[in-house]
Structure 1
C-alpha cells in the first residue's frame, strides 16, 4: 500500500508568490557562500542534501487530494482516490501519461465531505471525459450527487455532467458499515465539521491507512476521543487534519471544524499508530512556518510518547510507502 499526496492544503489552493520565491533563492545562495559549488554535480548535491526542504522545495498549494495505491499498477486498472480538491488535476495528468486514453480505468473516489475545496478538482479530472472509464464516487452525504452536478451547472462551469464521456456513478455509504472492493476494506466514520465530514480507514493485505481530515476534536469529549483512538488503532499511517495550533483550535478557531498537530500526536500515540502525516495546511502558512510546526510536532511526539511515532508533513508530490505486510 502506498499513499501519494496530490493536494495537501486546506480550505483554499495557494501558490508561491514573488516574495516567497525570492526569499528561497536568497536563503539558498547565502548558504552556498564559500562552498565552492563550481560544478553541476556539486550544486545538485548541495540542493538535494544540504538545503532544508522548506528552502529547496515547497509543501505545495493544491487542496485536498490523496491517491492510495492498493493494487499492482502494472496489472490492475483500478485506482483509489480520497477527495477531489485541486490536486486531482495533477493526479489526472499522471494517470493519462501512464495509461493513455485507450485502456479504460476504474476510479474509486471516497469523499470526506462536499465543501468546495474538496470537490473543485473534479471538473478538471481528465479521466471523467474519456469514454470507457468508470468513476465511482462514494460518500456518506445524501447530497453527494447533487453537489457534483451543481458544480457542473452552466452558472459555475461550461461543461455539464452529461457531457462527460466516462461512466459516472454515486454510492451513498453508511458510517461504520465496511465496503469491500477486491480485497480492500473501506470503513467510514462520522467527524465533527460543519455539515459533517467522514474519515476513512482503508485496510488491505495486512496494512491499514486512515484518512481523517476536516475533523475537530473537542478536548472535553472523551467518548469521541476513545472512538477515534479505536478508529486509528494500529494504523500504519494516519493522514490527519493539523490545520491549527492547539491554542487556536481551542480558542479563536473553536467550532471551525479542524484540529491540531498536538491532538494528532496524542490520538496516534494512544492508538499505537506507526506514522502520522500532518495534512490540510492552513493557507496563510508559508513553507517556513509549516516546517517549524513539523519540527515542534516531532519534538512533542518524542518527549511524550512511550513508543516511537514517526511524524511527517504532507506536501504535493509526496509518496509514503507502507510496504508489504
Structure 2
C-alpha cells in the first residue's frame, strides 16, 4: 500500500453512546414512511432501497464508541490512535488479520489519558497474547501509570501485570520528528486539561493529522499559526468538532474542545484537502450530527473564497478513508 487507509473504530467523545429501542423504532418508522407502502421481494431489495432513498441518520448510525482510529499502511505493525471503547472491536478484528499473517505488533499513539481515551484497553484481547508486542507512544510521562491505575482491583478485576504481551512505553517531545512502523511521525501540544497532543503521520508524501481534545479559541486565532503549520497540506485532518460554535462561545468555553467552524478555518488556512468531523458530542442524536455535518459543508462553501475546496466528511464507527 503506497498511501494510508484510515479506519474509524470509535468516533464519540466523553462517553460511549448506545442506540436505544426508542431510537431504533424512530428510524424504522421514518424508513416505513419513506417506503410509501412499497413491498420488497427480499431483505436485499429492501436494503438497496434504503441505501438509495434514506439519509445516513436514518439508514445508518454515527456510532457510539469513544475515540479509536486505525491508520493502515505501516510496515509490519498496526497503528492505532487512542484506546477508547472502539478498541475492543479493533482488537477482535486484528486477531483475524494476525491469523492471515499480519505481525502481532501494535503501535499506539495517545492524544491524552482521560478515561474516554483509555477505557477500551482493559478489553483489548491482544494484550493477553504472549507473542504480541505493544508500543505505546505519548507526550505524557505518566501514560503507564494511567493504564495501570485503571486496572487496579477497585476499578477492574484483571490487573495490568496479568497481561502477557511485551510492552514498551515511549515518551516523545513535541516538535521532534521520529520514525515508527515505517511512518514519519511528529506531535504538537494542544490546549486541554492535563495536556493533549495532536499527531501528524506521513508516508510517501501523504499526511494524516489526528487532532482531538484540543480547544481553539476564536478570539485567539492569531495564536494558531503553529496549528496551521502542523496541519499544512494534510490530505486528511481528523479534528475535534465536538461542539457547534454557539456552544463553545456561549456555554462550553474552557472545556477543552473545539467547533466545526474553527476546524474549517484551520484547514482552510493550512491548505488541507479533507476534514473529518470527529469526537461527536454524546448527547447529539444521529440527526444532530448529520445536521452539523450539513451546516459545516455550507459554512465551508460560504467562506472558501478563492481557496481550493475543502472536502468535509463526518466520521462514524466503521468509516474507512483512503489517503
- TM bracket (short chain): over 0.9
Alignment of 1:124-273 (within 5 A): 124-273=123-272
Check 1:301–1:103 CA distance in 2 against 1; reply closer, same or farther (3 A cut).
closer
Alignment of 1:71-110 (within 5 A): 71=74, 76-100=75-99, 104-110=103-109
- Structure 1 alignment gaps of length 5 or more: none
The CA distance in 1 between the partners of 2:79 and 2:293, in whole Å, is 27
Structure-2 residue corresponding to 1:19: 22
Count, aligned residues: 318
3-state SS of 2:199 partner = strand
Query: Does residue 316 of structure 2 align to residue 321 of structure 1?
Result: no
Residues 43-81 of structure 1 deviation map (CA, whole Å, 9 limit, x = unaligned)? 12112221111101100000000000023xxxx531100
The CA distance in 1 between the partners of 2:253 and 2:68, in whole Å, is 25
3-state SS of 2:219 partner = coil
Q: Shift of the alpha carbon at 1:223?
A: 4.7
The CA distance in 1 between the partners of 2:172 and 2:145, in whole Å, is 15
TM-score normalised by length of structure 1 = 0.95
Q: Are the counterparts in 2 of residues 276 and 311 from structure 1 also a CA contact under 8 Å?
A: yes
Q: Shift of the alpha carbon at 1:36?
A: 4.4
Q: Shift of the alpha carbon at 1:258?
A: 0.2
The CA distance in 2 between the partners of 1:81 and 1:255, in whole Å, is 28
The CA distance in 1 between the partners of 2:102 and 2:140, in whole Å, is 31
Check 1:304–1:185 CA distance in 2 against 1; reply closer, same or farther (3 A cut).
same
Check 1:208–1:289 CA distance in 2 against 1; reply closer, same or farther (3 A cut).
same
The CA distance in 2 between the partners of 1:101 and 1:269, in whole Å, is 41
Structure-2 residue corresponding to 1:312: 313
Residues 278-322 of structure 1 deviation map (CA, whole Å, 9 limit, x = unaligned)? 000000001000000000100111121131111111100110111
Q: Are the counterparts in 1 of residues 214 and 256 from structure 2 also a CA contact under 8 Å?
A: yes
6-15 or 157-166: bigger deviation: 157-166
Query: Does residue 26 of structure 2 align to residue 29 of structure 1?
Result: no
Q: Shift of the alpha carbon at 1:164?
A: 0.5
Residues 105-137 of structure 1 deviation map (CA, whole Å, 9 limit, x = unaligned)? 110000000000000000111111001100000
284-293 or 45-54: bigger deviation: 45-54
Q: Are the counterparts in 2 of residues 104 and 132 from structure 1 also a CA contact under 8 Å?
A: no
Structure-2 residue corresponding to 1:278: 277
C-alpha RMSD of the superposition: 1.5
The CA distance in 1 between the partners of 2:95 and 2:299, in whole Å, is 41
Match of 1:56 among 56, 59, 68: 59
Q: Are the counterparts in 1 of residues 130 and 164 from structure 2 also a CA contact under 8 Å?
A: yes
3-state SS of 1:4 partner = strand
- Structure 2 alignment gaps of length 5 or more: none
TM-score normalised by length of structure 2 = 0.95
